[in-house]
Structure 1
Amino acid sequence: MKLYQPGDTSNAICPDCGKLVSTTFAYRDVPFDDGTGVVKGILAAVCDECEAVVSIPAQSTPAIRRAREAADIPLEVSIPAPEIEIIDAAAYRIDPDATTRLRKSLFAFYLQRLRHDESAAGMLRREFETWNAAKIEQRNRVGKAVRIPQRRLSFKISPKTDRDVQWLMKAIGMNKTDTVRSVIMEIERDLLAPKAPNGLRHLQDIAAVVNA
């Protein structure tokens, strides 16, 4: 990997000028492409004509990654302990060697699937209420009070995934905790209830990338 120094020169296509220009490497604050934040003081190739940032050398990638991680949004909810076990059991079924990172990827995958299937999202609240009522009834049949501890589900999500969470909350009219629980319900029905889940091979491919 070539390491550039401030003052080094190069040539690149400037999108603002619309042509090949000479550039000079300098430290600049560079916004993320999606407008969700800024990475401060990284080395970049700057157009000598309009001073726009034209390209980012590979040596600045770690700083961008750290800034991106800092821009992630925490998602924290307190849910019944068995529902934490659901998402962990689903992750284990996908990949027995999976780390807790797969929790977030699995959650984001199901959010995206609901986002692209509005009919399924439209039925989600009613299905969740039925699912939740069945679990309460099951506990009541034991004949004595069953204490179910609460556990915290916590991970950092990208601004895009956070927008998906906000969209689903609005679409089904539930608070964040029950919205997260409804996604976990979908995961249980898809990956734990069937003997041979559909789409398992695809999720195993995702896990291979997440755990690389």
Structure 2
Amino acid sequence: MTQRFLLEGHKGKAICEKCANICSTTYRYRDVPFSDGKGLASGILVGVCDTCNTVLSIPAQSTPKIKRDRNIATQSIEAVLPAPYLDILDLACFSIDPNASTDFRKKLLLFYIHKFALGKFDVENISEPNPLFSLDHDISKRRLSMKVSKSLAEDFTKMVSVSKLSKTDFLKNVVGEIKRQVIDDRNKDVLEELRTIAYLG
């Protein structure tokens, strides 16, 4: 069955509670607030009442844009890590692609968090505190701050809970796993996938 694809200016009909009637509609691009009042879907095609200008219908073709706007990066993952952990991340990024953008550090960390959440990587590898360094003296620390989507924030919360570690220790262990797979073992399959991500920006 061929799905009808609507264009701006197409006509339709829908029940309008405000007009208390079945009204004709015209499909137009509008910014539509989410029902919970938190944000809006911008520039989506909707059916607008020709009488009162109220949005009455949302076609299926607008769903992907709504989902993207709903899932926009609005939550934060933050931690303060010893500087060598960030140096390892930067070295891993360079090993994957010397020309990778500065944003790739975030993508690399989130790639691993998501893989662990999906069960693609063995969570046992990160379930015990396993510091990479013996930090027996004061060492510089650096803040790690990432704006992430709701779904990735949920992945992070889930894995912190599963690992039974603090957020900081969990992130340290993820960096340790990145070091093992990317820098030490040069895991071919993982590197190939990460290089594709880096290439796509």
Q: Deviations over 1:1-49 (max 9, x none)?
A: xxx9xxx62158x9xxxxxx963326342439xx895316646331659
Q: Does 1:39 align with 2:40?
A: yes
Structure 2 stretches lacking a partner, 5+ long: 1-6, 15-23
Q: Distance in 2 between matches of 1:110 and 1:73?
A: 18
* Paired residue secondary structure (1:27): strand
Q: Does 1:52 align with 2:57?
A: yes
**Shift of residue 106 of structure 1?**
0.9
CA spacing shift, 1:26–1:117, aligned 2, 3 Å: closer
In structure 2, the residue matched to 1:23 is 26
- Percent of paired sites with the same residue: 22
1:56-75 matches, cutoff 5 A: 69=72, 71-75=73-77
In structure 1, the residue matched to 2:93 is 91
User: What residue identity is the alignment partner of 2:115?
Assistant: R
- Asked whether the equivalents of residues 46 and 56 of structure 2 are also in contact (C-alpha less than 8 Å), the reply is no
User: What residue identity is the alignment partner of 1:208?
Assistant: Y
* Paired residue secondary structure (1:179): helix
- Asked whether the equivalents of residues 46 and 55 of structure 1 are also in contact (C-alpha less than 8 Å), the reply is no
Structure 1 stretches lacking a partner, 5+ long: 15-20, 141-145
- Asked whether the equivalents of residues 77 and 153 of structure 1 are also in contact (C-alpha less than 8 Å), the reply is yes
In structure 1, the residue matched to 2:10 is 10
* Paired residue secondary structure (2:59): strand
Q: Distance in 2 between matches of 1:36 and 1:125?
A: 38
In structure 2, the residue matched to 1:161 is 152
**Shift of residue 56 of structure 1?**
7.3
In structure 2, the residue matched to 1:143 is none
TM-score (norm 2): 0.72
Q: Deviations over 1:58-96 (max 9, x none)?
A: xxx7xx988865x52121110000000111110111110
Instruction: Provide the aligned C-alpha RMSD in A.
Output: 3.6
Q: 2:187 aligns with which of 197, 201, 207?
A: 197
User: What residue identity is the alignment partner of 1:135?
Assistant: F
- Asked whether the equivalents of residues 45 and 55 of structure 1 are also in contact (C-alpha less than 8 Å), the reply is no
TM-score (norm 1): 0.68
- Asked whether the equivalents of residues 28 and 43 of structure 1 are also in contact (C-alpha less than 8 Å), the reply is yes
**Count of aligned pairs between the two proteins:** 178
**Shift of residue 153 of structure 1?**
1.0
- Asked whether the equivalents of residues 169 and 179 of structure 1 are also in contact (C-alpha less than 8 Å), the reply is yes
Q: Distance in 2 between matches of 1:179 and 1:208?
A: 28
* Paired residue secondary structure (1:45): strand
Q: Distance in 1 between matches of 2:193 and 2:41?
A: 37
* Paired residue secondary structure (1:96): coil
CA spacing shift, 1:39–1:208, aligned 2, 3 Å: same
Q: Distance in 2 between matches of 1:201 and 1:66?
A: 30
Q: Distance in 2 between matches of 1:205 and 1:158?
A: 21
Q: Distance in 2 between matches of 1:27 and 1:116?
A: 36
1:92-111 matches, cutoff 5 A: 92-111=94-113
**Shift of residue 113 of structure 1?**
1.5
